[in-house]
Structure 1
Amino acid sequence: MMKRIFDVFVSLFLLVLFAPIFLIISVLIKVDSQGPVLFKQVRIGKNGKNFNIYKFRSMKGGAESTGPHFTSKNDVRITSIGKIIRKSSLDEIPQLYNVLVGDMSLVGPRPNVPLQREEYTEREWCKRNSVRPGITGLAQATLRSSATKQQRTNLDLEYVENASFFYDMNILCLTVKQVVSRGGN
Structure 2
Amino acid sequence: MSSVPVGPLPPHSAVAGVVTGIRTVGFTPLAKRAMDIAIAAAALVAAAPFFLVVSLLVRADGGPAFYAHNRVGRGGRIFGCLKFRSMVVDSQARLEALLASDPEAREEWETTRKLRNDPRITRIGRFLRATSLDELPQLINVLRGDMAIVGPRPVTASELDSFYGAASAHYLTVRPGITGLWQVSGRSETSYDQRVALDVAYVSQPSLLADLRILLKTPVAVLSRRGAH
Category of TM-score, reference length = shorter chain: over 0.9
1:78-116, CA deviations, whole angstroms, 9 ceiling, x for partnerless residues? 000000111111100000000011100001001111121
Q: Distance in 2 between matches of 1:121 and 1:110?
A: 13
1:46-92, CA deviations, whole angstroms, 9 ceiling, x for partnerless residues? 01111111100000113134426933111000000000111111100
Match of 1:2 in 2: 31
Q: Distance in 2 between matches of 1:125 and 1:92?
A: 23
Q: Select the residue among 22, 47, 52 that pairs with 2:51.
A: 22
Q: What one-letter code is carried by the residue in structure 1 that aligns with 2:41? A: L
The Cα shift of 1:175 comes to 1.3
Q: Distance in 1 between matches of 2:134 and 2:86?
A: 7
Q: What one-letter code is carried by the residue in structure 2 that aligns with 1:19? A: A
The count of corresponding residues between Structure 1 and Structure 2 is: 184
Distance 1:120 1:113, change over 3 A: same
Verify the 8 A CA contact 1:142 1:174 in the aligned structure 2: no
Verify the 8 A CA contact 2:164 2:196 in the aligned structure 1: no
Tell me if 1:59 matches 2:87.
yes
Verify the 8 A CA contact 1:105 1:135 in the aligned structure 2: yes
1:19-55, CA deviations, whole angstroms, 9 ceiling, x for partnerless residues? 0000110111112x23111001111000111111110
Match of 1:35 in 2: 63
Runs of 4 or more above 4 Å deviation: none
Match of 1:169 in 2: 212
Q: Distance in 1 between matches of 2:141 and 2:192?
A: 24
Percent identity reads 40
Tell me if 1:48 matches 2:76.
yes
Tell me if 1:127 matches 2:163.
no
Q: Distance in 1 between matches of 2:85 and 2:198?
A: 27
- Structure with higher RCO (Cα < 8 A, 6+ apart): 2
1:95-145, CA deviations, whole angstroms, 9 ceiling, x for partnerless residues? 000001110000100111112133235421111121110001101111222
Verify the 8 A CA contact 2:86 2:124 in the aligned structure 1: yes
- What is the TM-score with the length of structure 2 in the denominator? 0.76
Q: What one-letter code is carried by the residue in structure 2 that aligns with 1:13? A: A
Q: What one-letter code is carried by the residue in structure 2 that aligns with 1:163? A: P
Instruction: Show structure 2 runs of 5+ residues with no match.
Output: 1-29, 96-108
Specify the SS of the correspondent of 1:42.
Answer: strand
Instruction: Show structure 1 runs of 5+ residues with no match.
Output: none
Which region of structure 1 is more displaced relative to structure 2, 62-71 or 81-90? 62-71
- What is the TM-score with the length of structure 1 in the denominator? 0.93
RMSD: 1.6
Q: Distance in 2 between matches of 1:83 and 1:150?
A: 26
Distance 1:66 1:12, change over 3 A: same
Q: Select the residue among 90, 93, 103 that pairs with 2:133.
A: 90
